[in-house]
Amino acid sequence: PPKQLVTLEDRLRNRFEWGLTTDVQPPELETRIAILRKKAVQEQLNAPPEVLEFIASRISRNIREL
């Protein structure tokens, strides 16, 4: 919660309190594979499903690394 961000200035913490607070979880394997598949299409790469699954199974937290 924003109230626990004690290192921020009060004015910034108050702004965060106005917004929506939500819990963001890492994507599941199928979602990571779909992200990789879409990126491969955008980059015009021919990546076999096995390769996409291998990469997605190794990178689970940081989507930017995909």
Residue pointed to by tokens 């309190």: 17
The stretch 10-18 carries a mean pLDDT of: 88
Residue pointed to by tokens 């106005």: 18
Give a yes or no: residue 2 inside a domain: no
Considering only CA atoms, which of 29, 53, 28 is closest in space to residue 40? 53
How many domains does the chain fold into?
A: 1
Give a yes or no: residue 20 inside a domain: no
Asked whether the predicted pLDDT for residue 66 surpasses 90, the reply is no
User: What is the pTM for the complete model shown?
Assistant: 0.69
Give a yes or no: residue 3 inside a domain: no
Give a yes or no: residue 16 inside a domain: no
Asked whether the predicted pLDDT for residue 6 surpasses 90, the reply is no
Give a yes or no: residue 34 inside a domain: yes
Task: Tell me the pLDDT tens digit for each residue of 19-60.
Answer: 888 888 999 999 999 999 999 999 999 999 999 999 999 998
Q: Which range marks the domain in which residue 66 is found?
A: 25-66
CA dihedral (14, 19, 23, 26) positive or negative: negative
Q: What is the dihedral of CA 9, 13, 14, 20, to 10 degrees?
A: 160
